[in-house]
Structure 1
Amino acid sequence: MAGSMRTIRMQIEYDGTDYSGWQRQPGEVLTVQGEIERVLRRITQEPVGIDGAGRTDRGVHARGQVASFTTGSPMPTSRLMHSANSLLPPTIRITSMRQAPESFHARFSATSREYRYFLVERPSAIDSRFAGCCHGKPDLFAMNRLATLLTGTHDFAAFSKESSDQHGTLCTVSEARWYRSGRFCVLGIEANRFLRSMVRFLVAGMIEAGMGRLEEEEFARMLESGCRPSDLKPADAAGLFLWKVRY
């Protein structure tokens, strides 16, 4: 029989290429949350629902997703984690699991989330699974001037898809900068919260400016006005990683 309930906190990495995002969906839709819940239910023999810190979209990856759940199972977390990893597909891996205070909630206890976007200059058979491509050499200085505009509290309505559970469009960005890492251009961005597809729309706008196709003033106007041109599509999901969640 199940004992007293415990709150468990786990860190997860996944290759999101083949999944319809993090969040469980009805029917036979393959999601990261759905796969982990399926495995935990099988191990604990109880209904398990997990909460993730970030609801990544279809095709987006994670190096440091955090999730929590409650269980009556007395199984040690080390054994539970080992059992789960042996049953999960190789594209999902629980990297740590431990008991947390009863009040801990992966989503609501988080103070900030950090995303990273990886960009390559030319198409690659190898890198295309984990990077977007800008088809040319971007002006990283121009892109960083725009990244500087993002810090502080702003209305990011122009850079998001509407979502039914979105509580307003204000977000506070604590850091945003582009840098080179080997063959990649990388955007690191941290904020208290992110709107749906927000990072990918921001990246798309900054790439357009970096490639000389969008005036920097136009990007700034989008941020101020809350309106974006209809031809601006979000950057490729393959380049985006939920990198770290802070508490």
Structure 2
Amino acid sequence: MRYFFTIAYKGTNYHGWQKQPNAMGVQQKIEEVFSTILNQPIDILGSGRTDSGVHATAQVFHVDFHVALEAEQLLFKANKMLPHDVALKHVRKVQEETHARFDAESRAYQYHIVTSKNPFAVDQAYIFARQLNVDMMNLASEKLLNHQDFESFSKVKTDVYTFNCDIFEAYWKQEKESLVFHIKANRFLRGMVRALVGTLLDVGQNKLSIEDFENIIEAKDRKKAGRSVPPEGLFLTQVNYPEEIYI
């Protein structure tokens, strides 16, 4: 029996989602807790990676159980054992062959910027105090919907079969004392959102024109794009699946 769990975590104390030999990932922490509760080794598989220091409000992972169990009870027990910065939100039974990564139809991220010193934004936003032309940043963001190949915004040493992504929405929104970049696509390349934000900040500071921004996309060269902004402002906020997968 396969289940999808939705999880939120603050990524500050973790070296990303994925478990690794010499550092603690969120995946490893969950597997340890599940294995302790069920008294057997448990492996989980997430919808995708998040880098060190990146947060999630709605990461999804799947797990198979070979015996009947009360999944809601497992969620309750696990939450009592997990650290304060990791929380299981809900669980749903899915079709046996459903895959948390490959069956996702879209994913959404937000990148949070605060424009002045804010002690409550530490580790959860990028403090960037320079004046920005948000209208220009939104005009540039709209251009992303007209393209598919985003090699210019991918980490250079990455093993992918294609740099193509279908971006469904990309825009900036002022939210109280913060500026938030919203982006939704069928898939993302490693480091893509943080590189996009860094380049769009150059547009907002009038260092790049809209035409310059499109030329960077078309160049398919990471060296042409802007810097990668810090991880603490990035949140995975949504992973969407077709409704028919759920039982």
What TM-score do you get using the length of structure 2 for normalisation? 0.93
Matched pairs, number: 241
2:14 counterpart of 1:19: yes
Counterpart-to-counterpart distance in 2, 1:42 and 1:89: 14
Counterpart-to-counterpart distance in 1, 2:82 and 2:128: 34
Shift of 1:124: 2.2
2:163 counterpart of 1:185: no
Partner residue, 1:86: 80
Within a 5 Å distance, the mapping from 1:14-53 to structure 2 comes to 14-27=9-22, 29-53=23-47
Shift of 1:244: 0.4
- Would the aligned equivalents of 1:54 and 1:242 in 2 still touch at CA under 8 Å? no
Cα deviation 1:192-218 (Å, max 9, x = unaligned): 000001000000000111022333322
Alignment equivalent of 1:8, drawn from 3, 13, 16:
3
SS in 2 for 1:213: coil
- Would the aligned equivalents of 1:163 and 1:196 in 2 still touch at CA under 8 Å? no
Partner residue, 2:125: 131
Pair 1:230–1:171, CA change in 2 (3 A): closer
Within a 5 Å distance, the mapping from 1:186-201 to structure 2 comes to 186-201=180-195
Counterpart-to-counterpart distance in 2, 1:123 and 1:231: 27
- Would the aligned equivalents of 1:200 and 1:237 in 2 still touch at CA under 8 Å? yes
Unaligned 5+ segments in structure 2 are 242-247
Counterpart-to-counterpart distance in 1, 2:167 and 2:85: 30
Moved over 4 A (4+): none
Shift of 1:45: 1.8
CA RMSD of aligned residues (A): 1.5
SS in 2 for 1:171: coil
- Would the aligned equivalents of 2:16 and 2:26 in 1 still touch at CA under 8 Å? yes
Alignment equivalent of 1:234, drawn from 228, 232, 245:
228
Partner residue, 2:239: 245
Identity %: 35
Unaligned 5+ segments in structure 1 are 1-5
Counterpart-to-counterpart distance in 2, 1:72 and 1:163: 38
Counterpart-to-counterpart distance in 1, 2:35 and 2:131: 48
- Would the aligned equivalents of 1:172 and 1:191 in 2 still touch at CA under 8 Å? yes
Counterpart-to-counterpart distance in 2, 1:154 and 1:133: 30
- Would the aligned equivalents of 1:154 and 1:223 in 2 still touch at CA under 8 Å? no
Does 207-216 or 36-45 show the bigger shift?
207-216
2:202 counterpart of 1:218: no
- Would the aligned equivalents of 1:85 and 1:93 in 2 still touch at CA under 8 Å? yes
Pair 1:231–1:142, CA change in 2 (3 A): closer
Does 131-140 or 83-92 show the bigger shift?
131-140
Does 150-159 or 209-218 show the bigger shift?
209-218
SS in 2 for 1:200: helix
Letter in 1 for 2:60: V
Counterpart-to-counterpart distance in 2, 1:48 and 1:76: 16
Does 171-180 or 223-232 show the bigger shift?
223-232
- Would the aligned equivalents of 1:52 and 1:68 in 2 still touch at CA under 8 Å? yes
Alignment equivalent of 1:103, drawn from 97, 103, 106:
97
Pair 1:46–1:165, CA change in 2 (3 A): farther
Does 196-205 or 42-51 show the bigger shift?
42-51
Shift of 1:151: 0.9
Cα deviation 1:13-36 (Å, max 9, x = unaligned): 000011100011013x11111111
